[in-house]
Amino acid sequence: MVLKNASILAIDDDADVLTALRLLLKPLAKNIVTEKNPSNIRSQIEKTDYDVIILDMNFNGLVNTGNEGIFWLNEIKKQKPETLVILMTAYADIDLAIRGLKEGASDFLMKPWKNEKIIETIKTLLDKKKTKSSKSTSLNSSSVEIIGESDAMQDVFMKLEKVAPTDANVLVLGENGTGKDLIARALHDNSNRKDKPFVKVDVGALTSTLFESELFGYKKGAFTDAREDRMGRFEAANGGTLFLDEIGNITLGQQVRLLTVIQNRQVTPLGSNEAIPIDIRLICATNVDPSTLADESKFRKDLIYRINTVDIIIPPLRDRGTDITELSRHFVSLYAEKYNKNTFSFDSGFISKLKKHDFPGNVRELQYVLERAVIMTDGSVLKPEDLVFSSIERSVTKKSIETTSLNLDDIEKNAILTVLEKHKGNVSKSAKELGITRAALYRRLEKYEL
Ligand SMILES: Nc1ncnc2c1ncn2[C@@H]1O[C@H](COP(=O)(O)OP(=O)(O)OP(=O)(O)O)[C@@H](O)[C@H]1O
């Protein structure tokens, strides 16, 4: 099903959230109904068959079930099991969201959300529903669309197709923005575990104290802030796939702890003496050069052997010549639809200018450049001058702002630039040093147009 034929119900006790969702989805979907009072959910879904329900998890309600969002999710699934439910949750509620997925939600979104992300999530789910009902099992049925006609990407697809249905641990290697995340998802979506959880952890961004509690979980009282039991990501991924991103950035001590869990296939939460058996398929990714991984002073050989039964190397975009054209068509039509613009054609110099650029930020950079071009261009032909390459990927230093200013935005922007410069543009390491997630850093890069 496509979004413009979909009926959507959004439930949130915050009227502003509902207004924002209505404004966003009204022009795109068949209809969007909003509901402030969750007690009306039963009657709402009784009278209309909604394709998608966006459900807030954090009501200030009266139903005493531990969490009202989970309660209403279960009610919806009981009454209309086919409905796709997307949960909305605050960042701190990640455990709750994972619980929601286990109880039948199709996906979850973090508040504050990005409009683009909501639309993409709904479209992906509707698309997945369509391919599921046509019972396609080939790689093409994957919920993620991976573009690539170059020989290099054809090799990647071939390997992916062979490896996905096996339980082999896979190490995905490639520079930032080459599509490692997409490949990890495609491996999961085309595996026998596709209906089980896919849990991603950016291990490179975890501080040493968070590393164990996030991955292995903890019992109430295990340390000062452990006010209740918390499930670790290994356990949350049980039966499914655990994707450890930025594995090349973890310390030797963390490598030992990880190796123990992988070898023993069991995890012991902090403060517990009971080991939990773990059945996961492990996918790891890193942008670290393979030669660094081979350096035993930085990375344990025994761990590399464990996580790297098969490796998939994604080449940088600058080495995938023909992909630039295909990817450009794909992103331009995506953004033309998103920003309600007519279709664009390319002036002869447009693609050649793209091909001359070396794309240090790879596909992600191409995506941003084209989004900007689509937004800024008035006509229907994209020209070379519509392409503005961000200097962040090439030279962070040049952009440093003179700051004797005490304006908070200037201070934040400067801190980001300084840290990026220190880590030579490596977003994971910079996010870690800034004490924020990579997603939060990307949001700020966009905000300050860096
Ligand atoms: N082959 C592709 N086809 C379509 N979109 C792609 C492709 N490769 C990457 N993208 C898009 O580019 C962006 C970056 O991709 P992704 O996050 O998978 O890269 P990554 O290698 O995991 O990056 P990082 O190392 O920074 O985590 C995403 O929006 C993704 O959808």
Tell me the Ramachandran region of residue 179: left when phi exceeds 0, alpha when psi lies from -120 to 50, beta otherwise: left
The total of structural domains in the chain comes to 4
**pLDDT, tens digit, for every residue of 287-341?**
998 888 888 888 999 999 999 989 999 999 999 878 999 999 999 998 998 888 8
DSSP assignment of 201-266: EEGGG--HHHHHHHHHEE-TTSSTT--S-EE-HHHHTTTSEEEEETGGGS-HHHHHHHHHHHHHTE
Q: Is 361 a pocket residue for ligand 1 (Cβ < 6 Å)?
A: no
How many DSSP H helices and E strands does the chain contain?
A: 18, 16
Report the nearest atom of ligand 1 relative to the CA of 179: 18
Nearest Cα to Cα of residue 167 among 193, 136, 138: 193
The answer to whether residues 47 and 98 belong to one domain is yes
**pLDDT, tens digit, for every residue of 112-128?**
888 888 998 898 888 77
The answer to whether residues 253 and 239 belong to one domain is yes
pLDDT the model gives residue 143: 58
Q: Is 148 a pocket residue for ligand 1 (Cβ < 6 Å)?
A: yes
Instruction: Kindly state the tokens that stand for 427.
Output: 């977003």
The answer to whether residues 173 and 294 belong to one domain is yes
Ligand 1 centroid from CA 361, angstroms: 10
CATH number, domain of 286, equals 3.40.50.300
Ligand 1 centroid from CA 245, angstroms: 13
Q: Is the pLDDT at 141 greater than 80, yes or no?
A: no
Cβ neighbours of residue 67 closer than 8 Å, sequence gap 6 or more: 57, 96
Cβ neighbours of residue 94 closer than 8 Å, sequence gap 6 or more: none
Task: For the beta carbon of residue 302, count every other beta carbon within 10 angstroms.
Answer: 11
The answer to whether residues 165 and 121 belong to one domain is no
Q: Is the pLDDT at 268 greater than 50, yes or no?
A: yes
Residue nearest to atom 28 of ligand 1 (CA): 364
Of 78, 100, 133, which marks where a domain is finished?
A: 133
Whether residue 148 contacts residue 316, with contact meaning beta carbons closer than 8 Å, is answered with: no
Residue nearest to atom 26 of ligand 1 (CA): 176
Q: Is the pLDDT at 284 greater than 60, yes or no?
A: yes
Q: Is 428 a pocket residue for ligand 1 (Cβ < 6 Å)?
A: no
Q: Is the pLDDT at 283 greater than 90, yes or no?
A: yes
Ligand 1 centroid from CA 223, angstroms: 37
The answer to whether residues 367 and 407 belong to one domain is no
pLDDT the model gives residue 223: 81
**pLDDT, tens digit, for every residue of 79-125?**
888 889 999 887 667 777 777 877 788 888 888 888 888 998 898 88
Task: For the beta carbon of residue 340, count every other beta carbon within 10 angstroms.
Answer: 8
Is residue 411 assigned to a domain? yes
Q: Is 367 a pocket residue for ligand 1 (Cβ < 6 Å)?
A: yes
Burial class (CB in 10 A: 0-12, 13-18, 19+), 218: buried
Whether residue 44 contacts residue 35, with contact meaning beta carbons closer than 8 Å, is answered with: yes
The answer to whether residues 323 and 277 belong to one domain is no
Tell me the Ramachandran region of residue 153: left when phi exceeds 0, alpha when psi lies from -120 to 50, beta otherwise: alpha
The answer to whether residues 169 and 249 belong to one domain is yes
pTM of the model: 0.62
More confidently predicted of 79 and 366: 366
Is residue 181 assigned to a domain? yes
The answer to whether residues 368 and 415 belong to one domain is no
Measured distance CA(362)–CA(177) in Å, rounded: 5
The answer to whether residues 309 and 324 belong to one domain is no
Is residue 13 assigned to a domain? yes
Averaged pLDDT, 234-250: 94
pLDDT the model gives residue 133: 42
Averaged pLDDT, 388-408: 56
Report the nearest atom of ligand 1 relative to the CA of 147: 3
ipTM computed for the complex? 0.98
Looking at 34-163, list the stretches that DSSP marks H as alpha helix, in order from N- to C-terminal side: 41-47, 68-79, 94-102, 115-133, 151-163
Q: Is 142 a pocket residue for ligand 1 (Cβ < 6 Å)?
A: no
Distances (CA, A) of 43 to 60, 100, 331: 20, 22, 40
Is residue 195 assigned to a domain? yes
Averaged pLDDT, 235-242: 94
Averaged pLDDT, 124-139: 52
The answer to whether residues 283 and 426 belong to one domain is no
Of 313, 338, 372, which marks where a domain is finished?
A: 313
Q: Is 249 a pocket residue for ligand 1 (Cβ < 6 Å)?
A: no
**pLDDT, tens digit, for every residue of 25-53?**
999 999 999 999 988 999 999 888 899 99
CATH number, domain of 333, equals 1.10.8.60
Q: Is 147 a pocket residue for ligand 1 (Cβ < 6 Å)?
A: yes
3-state secondary structure of 101: helix
The answer to whether residues 60 and 116 belong to one domain is yes
Percent of the chain with pLDDT over 70: 90
Mean pLDDT of the residues in the chain: 85
Measured distance CA(401)–CA(411) in Å, rounded: 9
pLDDT the model gives residue 22: 93
**pLDDT, tens digit, for every residue of 174-202?**
999 999 999 999 999 999 999 999 999 99
Is residue 392 assigned to a domain? no
The answer to whether residues 223 and 354 belong to one domain is no
Q: Is 177 a pocket residue for ligand 1 (Cβ < 6 Å)?
A: yes
Q: Is the pLDDT at 450 greater than 80, yes or no?
A: no
Whether residue 165 contacts residue 142, with contact meaning beta carbons closer than 8 Å, is answered with: no
Residue nearest to atom 23 of ligand 1 (CA): 177
Averaged pLDDT, 406-422: 82
CATH number, domain of 429, equals 1.10.10.60
φ/ψ of 85, rounded to 5, equals -115, 125
Is residue 112 assigned to a domain? yes
Residue nearest to atom 8 of ligand 1 (CA): 179
152-156 long-range contacts, CB within 8 A, separation 24+: 152/315, 152/319, 152/320, 153/314, 153/315, 153/320, 153/323, 156/183, 156/312, 156/313, 156/314
pLDDT the model gives residue 312: 94
Is residue 391 assigned to a domain? no
Ligand 1 centroid from CA 227, angstroms: 37
Confidence of residue 274 (pLDDT cuts 50, 70, 90): very high
Ligand 1 centroid from CA 240, angstroms: 22
Q: Is 360 a pocket residue for ligand 1 (Cβ < 6 Å)?
A: no
Domain ranges, residue 151: 141-313
pLDDT the model gives residue 402: 44
Q: Is 193 a pocket residue for ligand 1 (Cβ < 6 Å)?
A: no
Ligand 1 centroid from CA 292, angstroms: 22
Of 363, 386, 409, which marks where a domain is finished?
A: 386
Q: Is 152 a pocket residue for ligand 1 (Cβ < 6 Å)?
A: no
Measured distance CA(262)–CA(243) in Å, rounded: 13
Nearest Cα to Cα of residue 400 among 420, 414, 419: 414
Confidence of residue 401 (pLDDT cuts 50, 70, 90): very low
pLDDT the model gives residue 198: 93
Averaged pLDDT, 248-270: 93
pLDDT the model gives residue 239: 94
Is residue 302 assigned to a domain? yes
Least confident of 194-203, 351-360, 378-387, 421-430: 421-430
Q: Is the pLDDT at 400 greater than 50, yes or no?
A: no
Confidence of residue 60 (pLDDT cuts 50, 70, 90): low
CATH number, domain of 93, equals 3.40.50.2300
pLDDT the model gives residue 81: 82
